[in-house]
Amino acid sequence: MTPDEKQGNRLAFLGALAGGLAHEIRNPLSTIAMNLQLLNEDWENPETERERRTVRKLGILAKEVKRLENILDDFLRFASGHRLTRESAQVSEVLEEVLEFLGPKFAQAEVELRAMLDEDLPLTRIDRNAMKQVFMNLLVNAIQAMPGGGELMVRSRRDGCDVVIEVTDTGEGIPEELMEKIWQIYYSRRRTGTGLGLPTSRRIVEELDGSISVVSEKGKGTRFTIRLPVAASS
């Protein structure tokens, strides 16, 4: 075995180990979540101060369980990045589905969506679900970068042998010195962030032979650009 192969084996082993651990934690966690839910129903109408305190604590527990579940979900998505499938897909359609799903979130955050999707995009060979995850990551990040609302532009177009997708927000922007850091595993500037969204996205896009890049200006906004190769027959 070459040193590279050894290193690869070691990483695969660690990935499987950590993935297994995350799965093992998830089952008891969902039992806890379910019982908290049942307890909550039992205490639906608190009468004394003591009972109200109990209900408040139940609320805190439920919130923290939710947070742990989010961390595990993000982690498992990152750890399972290596099992991508390839199918012919029109990226604008995939984007459309994600935008529709996130519609209520945009409204709630007072984010105005401007979608410019090329309906005649050539096909790409991608893993639809994985790419949905990537778009979801970028769009949720964009919403979070605009706490007071703003404008979100989502655009798809063909550029030579590539399909290009741009997600542009008018949010807080990313300071120059952090432009590299944001791609690191577990790097997050948000209190409840996991720091896995961008590294997972990069990994998925690169595994599909594409690229992802970012330009940003502090205080003005941020644009993420994804390029995916057009399928050979298109």
Ligand X SMILES: Nc1ncnc2c1ncn2[C@@H]1O[C@H](COP(=O)(O)OP(=O)(O)O)[C@@H](O)[C@H]1O
| Backbone region of residue 195 per phi and psi (left: phi > 0; alpha: psi in -120 to 50; beta: other values) | left
**Of 67 and 82, which CB lies nearer to ligand X in the complex structure?**
67
Minimum Å distance from CB 120 to ligand X? 28
Taking CB under 6 A as the criterion, the residue among 23, 52, 63, 189 binding ligand X is: 189
Q: Which stretch binds Mg ion (CB under 5 A): 7-15, 45-53, 125-133, 192-200?
A: 192-200
As given in the structure block, the two tokens for residue 109 are: 């955050």
Specify the 3-state DSSP secondary structure of 55: helix
Q: With binding defined as CB under 6 A, does residue 109 bind ligand X? A: no
Instruction: Give the phi and the psi of residue 225 in degrees, each rounded to 5.
Output: -125, 125
Q: In the window 130-169, what residues touch Mg ion (CB under 5 A)?
A: 141
Taking CB under 6 A as the criterion, the residue among 222, 226, 228, 230 binding ligand X is: 222
226 binds, among ligand X, Mg ion, none (CB under 5 to 8 A by kind): none
In sequence order, which ranges of the chain are alpha helices (DSSP H)?
Answer: 3-42, 49-79, 91-108, 128-144, 197-207
**Of 126 and 198, which CB lies nearer to ligand X in the complex structure?**
198
Q: Which stretch binds ligand X (CB under 6 A): 10-18, 41-49, 120-128, 141-149?
A: 141-149
Q: With binding defined as CB under 6 A, does residue 142 bind ligand X? A: yes
How far apart CA 100 and CA 108 sit, in angstroms, is 14
State the number of binding residues for Mg ion (CB under 5 A): 2
Strand partners, 150: 111
Taking CB under 5 A as the criterion, the residue among 197, 199, 210, 221 binding Mg ion is: 197
DSSP characters for 130-153?
HHHHHHHHHHHHHHHT-TT-EEEE
81 binds, among Mg ion, ligand X, none (CB under 5 to 8 A by kind): none
How far apart CA 57 and CA 63 sit, in angstroms, is 10
How far apart CA 204 and CA 187 sit, in angstroms, is 18
* Residues in touch with ligand X (CB under 6 A): 137, 141-142, 145, 169, 171-174, 182, 187-190, 193-198, 222
* Residues in touch with Mg ion (CB under 5 A): 141, 197
